[in-house]
Chain A
């Protein structure tokens, strides 16, 4: 399904997504991205630098958050800009369930050129893990 601009209104909520982050996800992301920082894989190391446990790559959280927009828009190449602030880490225990992050999106603006701004939320427990997260998409007319 490809969304059209006529389907969109300001204030509209995008379908939310709850996604699990597990230790094996972090290993897969480390290998796919090349970011092998041990704070994302080695519990003893993470604790030795003052973290509560292994934490997810901020860029993994960013990479997953945009799915709120791309699942909704259908076409991921509709995204023309995307920015986030990584405010707090997602702590990932060594359990099968891992940690659940809840992602939300809301249409905040329809620009004069027809592009659409979406504000994105990412919450882990009570903690906002991304701030100032927003994307602009260009949809078919």
Chain B
């Protein structure tokens, strides 16, 4: 990967309108019967991945990053919540390259994804990826 991209901030993603259908489909796929989700108004803690993964995919395919997508594994994920995502939120993601460093023959990179609803920061995600080096 191109270490000059450390600190690079990508332009905000296109707005994603959170509907009760989005939330309900996600909750159903998790098989989560918590009554808090029954009316489809509040999203589960890992729901932000729906928008952060898309934003990172755009970054992963940025030729300037020089990342071999076929050798990429998502290794770590973290979220810090300012407030839960709710139905009606219009989410945009600002993705940035926080770290790129070697790990043996592999490289690891951390992408920070700030998720906004309008101007309000609602959750920050960090995704660490491993890009496997050439086979020994």
A contact set with B: CB distance below 8 Å = 19, 25, 28-29, 31-35, 58-60, 62-64, 66-67, 70-71, 74-77, 79-86, 132, 135
With a cutoff of 8 Å between Cβ atoms, the chain A residues found around residue B49 in the complex are 33, 59, 63
- A83: chain B residues within 8 A (beta carbon): 76-79, 126
Q: Given that A59-B49, A79-B81, A82-B79 are known contacts, is A29 also in contact with B36, CB under 8 Å in the complex? A: no
A45 to B79, CA, bound (A): 31
Prevailing SS type, chain B contact patch: mixed
Range for the number of chain B residues in contact with chain A: 20 to 34
Beta-carbon contact of A60 and B29 below 8 Å? yes
In the complex, the answer to whether B77 meets A35 with C-beta atoms within 8 Å is no
Contacts of A64 in B (CB 8 A): 30-32
Residue contacts A-B, CB under 8 angstroms, 16 given: A19-B31, A32-B50, A34-B50, A34-B53, A34-B54, A59-B46, A59-B53, A66-B44, A70-B44, A76-B34, A77-B36, A81-B78, A81-B81, A83-B79, A83-B126, A132-B76
Chain A CB within 10 A, most for which of B42, B45, B49: B45
Q: Which residues of B contact A75 (CB under 8 A)?
A: 36
- Docked-complex contact A81 and B50, CB < 8 angstroms: no
* CB of B25 closer than 8 Å to a CB of A: yes
* Cα–Cα distance between A67 and B37 once the two chains are bound (Å): 12
Q: Is A84 in contact with B76, judged by CB distance below 8 angstroms?
A: yes
CB distance from B91 to the nearest CB of A (A): 13
A76 lies within 8 A of B37 (CB) = yes
B26 contacts the other chain (CB 8 A): yes
Chain A residues positioned under 8 Å from B78 (CB to CB): 81-84
Q: Is B84 an interface residue (CB 8 A)?
A: yes
Query: Are the C-beta atoms of B46 and A76 separated by less than 8 Å?
Result: no
Interface contact A80-B44, CB-CB below 8 Å: no
Shortest CB-to-CB span from A98 to chain B, Å, is 11
